[in-house]
Amino acid sequence: MAERATDTLVRFARIVSDAAASEEMMPRLCEALVEHVSADGIAVVVLEPSGGARLAAEHGLPEGARSVSFEPDDIGADLGRQILGAAEGAFACERTRPLVAGGGLFGAVVMLFRSAAGPPEESLLLAEGLVDLAAIALGSAIHVAQLEKQFTDLRTSQELLARTEKLRALGQMAAGVSHDLKNILNPLSLHLQIIQRALDKGKIDDVKESIPEMKQVLVRGLETLERLRDYSRQSKESKTELVELDVLAREAAKIAKPRMASSGGGRVVTIREELTGPPAVMAMSGEVVSALVNLVVNAIDALGGKGTITLRSGEHDGGSWVAVEDDGPGMPKEVEQKIFEPFFTTKGSEGTGLGLAMVYATMQRHGGTITLDTAPGEGTRIRLWFPPPSPASAGHRL
């Protein structure tokens, strides 16, 4: 008998471990109890995660006993008696076993017998073993379901976080691009003033000179806007071309010049060129012009209307570099450490603190480096180094 009981338990353990969900498991428990314990009626009542209780499986219950509505509090001593009463004399006695595992109560199994004597002691022991096994399986199924839910919740919140982060980065990029756009479009008003004056004086030749320059500025402005569009589309592709850093430095100086008029009354800022024609590099010319405009504008601001800005270029480590240098006040250590952080500015409401963060991002996108040399009273030099073009990259995209 003991051997048969062990056999039954082992077989049932296999059945419950194969059952994917508690819905499959409970009918199997009923079958096993009918077969091995000779129960005449069975009711498996389980607690719901939502807080209720329901009849999960049954065998041989008359209609009255099946339609009882269960409360979680019924899962105790009274459950068996309640079902026995509802069966209206179909059974003589009941044996109830709670579904308990790992300290959790998941429900109860009520076994009903027609004979008043109930099952023999051995059968009852086997029944308890079967119910306990089902409880363990039910406990782990619930645990797995909880873990799955936690995992799904975690993934959802991670995705939300990633989306929020992307939006934050996009917002920062939008602010940076509008900052660069303002820098680039500023000279247009200067050109318009020149055209107005020339037209007033009937000097058509001066107008002719200004128009190609205005066109170029507009092209750079449109390129700047396209950067934002590429970024918001998460486009990995950006157009690069072979560019000469000297040409871009001259263009940037021209674009930044109007800033001089608005800083310092009547004093003089000179822009010098020590450009040495280093080899061309693969770059997004619009972005590099924006970066250099940022550097020149910062130098103009630092000089407060008086001093010299020097544009330099050269070769280093196989690549080429371009630098903007000024003989202004330089920076104290605490400023120097923060200048590439977005929104760091010492210019109060006059500055956004996005200029150098944009320069930094540009150099990262180009696989280049940015070097800062400064000290209080010693001026500032910021150098942008670009790697040599790889043979395969010429005419392609980054």
User: Which residues of this chain interact with ligand ATP, rule CB under 6 A?
Assistant: 179, 294, 298-299, 302, 326, 328, 331, 335, 339, 344-347, 351-357, 380
> CA torsion, points 158, 159, 165, 167, in degrees to nearest 10?
-160
Question: Given candidates 119, 328, 355, 389, which one binds Mg ion under the rule CB under 5 A?
Answer: 355
Q: How far is CA 79 from CA 45, 53, 83, 90, 175, in A?
A: 9, 11, 6, 16, 67
Please report, for residues 25, 173, 240, 293, 312, the alpha-carbon distance to residue 321 in angstroms, rounded to integers and kept in the order given: 72, 25, 17, 15, 8
| Minimum CB distance to ligand ATP, residue 250 (Å) | 19
The listed partner (ligand ATP, Mg ion, none) that binds 302, CB under 5 to 8 Å by sort, is ligand ATP
Nearest residue relative to ligand ATP (C-beta): 355
CB of 153 to ligand ATP, least distance (A): 40
Q: Pick what 13 binds: ligand ATP, Mg ion, none; C-beta below 5 to 8 Å, kind-dependent.
A: none
CB of 390 to ligand ATP, least distance (A): 31
Q: Is there binding between residue 307 and Mg ion (CB under 5 A)?
A: no
Nearest CB to Mg ion, comparing residues 68 and 358: 358
| Residue 186 interacts with Mg ion (CB under 5 A): yes or no | no
CB of residue 355 vs Mg ion: minimum separation in angstroms? 3
352 makes contact, choosing from Mg ion, ligand ATP, none, with CB < 5 to 8 Å by partner type, with: ligand ATP
Q: Which is nearer to ligand ATP, 23 or 378 (CB)?
A: 378
Q: Which is nearer to ligand ATP, 38 or 345 (CB)?
A: 345
Q: Which does 311 bind (CB under 5 to 8 A by kind): Mg ion, ligand ATP, none?
A: none
Q: How far apart are the first and last CA of the chain?
A: 78
362 binds Mg ion (CB under 5 A): no
Closest separation between CB of residue 171 and ligand ATP, Å? 16
CB of 351 to ligand ATP, least distance (A): 3
Task: Indicate the residue among 96 and 294 with the shorter CB distance to ligand ATP.
Answer: 294
Which one of 96, 298, 362, 374 is in contact with Mg ion (CB under 5 A)? 298
Least distance CB 354 / Mg ion (angstroms): 8
Q: Are 323 and 383 in contact (CB under 8 A)?
A: yes
Compute the least distance from the CB of residue 278 to ligand ATP, in Å. Answer: 22
Residue 331 touches which member of Mg ion, ligand ATP, none, C-beta under 5-8 Å by kind: ligand ATP
Pairing of strands 281-283, 241-243: antiparallel
Q: Which stretch binds Mg ion (CB under 5 A): 6-14, 186-194, 218-226, 292-300?
A: 292-300
Q: Ramachandran region of residue 234, left (φ > 0), alpha (ψ -120 to 50) or beta?
A: left
Residues that bind Mg ion (CB under 5 A): 298, 355
